């Protein structure tokens, strides 16, 4: 049996590019024997600690952001729809409640975290609903087949889930993360930890691992 390669993936639901990177890595989990370790993190802290700014805050980047995201989603066949109120959703409402729930899922139901994460992204960037709303989070958890949704929600309000989110975020900061998606892997040839930023670095990851990249829809 092949030994799976651990890949640590740091993300915040607020980033559509993190969604694209997440789905790309999920598609390559089986073909490349990846042990995908999902690490929800607080992107606001990452931006502050790294001195970076969101793309939408830069006029030049912001002017092409909407079309670029649309192109990527079409290329990957993902059901992306633009947010009606981008600034309110991202900069005011945020994702902290959702991130704490994902951190709770990471502890309690790690085998369900992938689908819980996916449902959260679909809620935000496909259905444009409030991902911090308790009722919507219950929908995400139910769709992810969480065994005890009430227990998960209760646990997400406690210190252990909060600390898990802090730990994930600190790990990312210590690795010099400056945005999302961010993922790391140990190079099997050199033993050196390699770091990647962006949803368009999957092919480069394959090159590092000595695996063949065959496009956005690899055979499973």
For 27, the token pair is 């598609």
What average pLDDT does this structure show over 162-172?
98
Write down the pLDDT at residue 208: 95
Q: Beta-strand (E) ranges in 93-156?
A: none
The answer, yes or no, to whether residue 3 has pLDDT greater than 90, is no
Write down the pLDDT at residue 1: 53
Is residue 83 exposed (0-12), middle (13-18) or buried (19+ Cβ within 10 Å)?
A: middle
Average pLDDT, the chain: 95
% of the chain residues with pLDDT over 90: 87
- Dmax (CA) for the chain in angstroms is 50
51: which residues sit within 8 A by CB, 6+ positions away?
178
Contact criterion met (CB below 8 Å) for 220 and 30: yes
For 94, the token pair is 């945020």
Name the CATH superfamily housing domain 5-209: Glutaredoxin (3.40.30.10)
Contact criterion met (CB below 8 Å) for 102 and 120: yes
% of the chain residues with pLDDT over 70: 99
Q: Would you give the distance in Å from CA 160 to the centre of its chain?
A: 20
pLDDT digits (tens, 9 = 90+) for 27-70: 999 999 999 999 999 999 999 999 998 877 777 777 888 899 99
pLDDT digits (tens, 9 = 90+) for 181-190: 999 999 888 8
What average pLDDT does this structure show over 182-203?
94
Write down the pLDDT at residue 59: 77
- The reported pTM is 0.95
Write down the pLDDT at residue 2: 65
Write down the pLDDT at residue 44: 95
């Amino acid at each position: 049996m092949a030994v799976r390669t651990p890949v640590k993936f740091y993300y915040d639901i607020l980033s559509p590019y993190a969604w694209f990177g997440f789905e790309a890595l999920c598609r390559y989990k089986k073909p490349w024997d990846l042990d995908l370790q999902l690490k929800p993190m607080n992107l606001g802290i990452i931006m502050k600690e790294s001195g970076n700014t969101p793309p939408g805050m830069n006029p030049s980047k912001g002017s092409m952001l909407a079309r670029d995201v649309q192109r990527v989603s079409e290329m990957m066949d993902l059901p992306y729809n633009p947010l009606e109120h981008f600034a309110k959703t991202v900069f005011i409402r945020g994702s902290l409640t959702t991130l704490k729930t994902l951190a709770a899922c990471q502890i309690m139901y790690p085998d369900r975290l992938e689908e819980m994460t996916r449902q959260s992204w679909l809620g935000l960037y496909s259905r444009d609903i409030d991902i911090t709303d308790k009722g919507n989070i219950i929908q995400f958890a139910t769709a992810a087949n969480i065994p005890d949704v009430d227990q998960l929600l209760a646990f997400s309000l406690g210190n252990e889930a909060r600390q898990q989110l802090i730990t994930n975020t600190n790990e990312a900061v210590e690795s010099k993360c400056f945005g999302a998606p961010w993922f790391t892997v140990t190079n099997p040839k050199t033993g050196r930890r390699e770091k990647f930023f962006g949803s368009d670095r999957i092919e480069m990851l394959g090159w590092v691992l000595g695996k063949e990249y065959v496009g956005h829809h690899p055979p499973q």
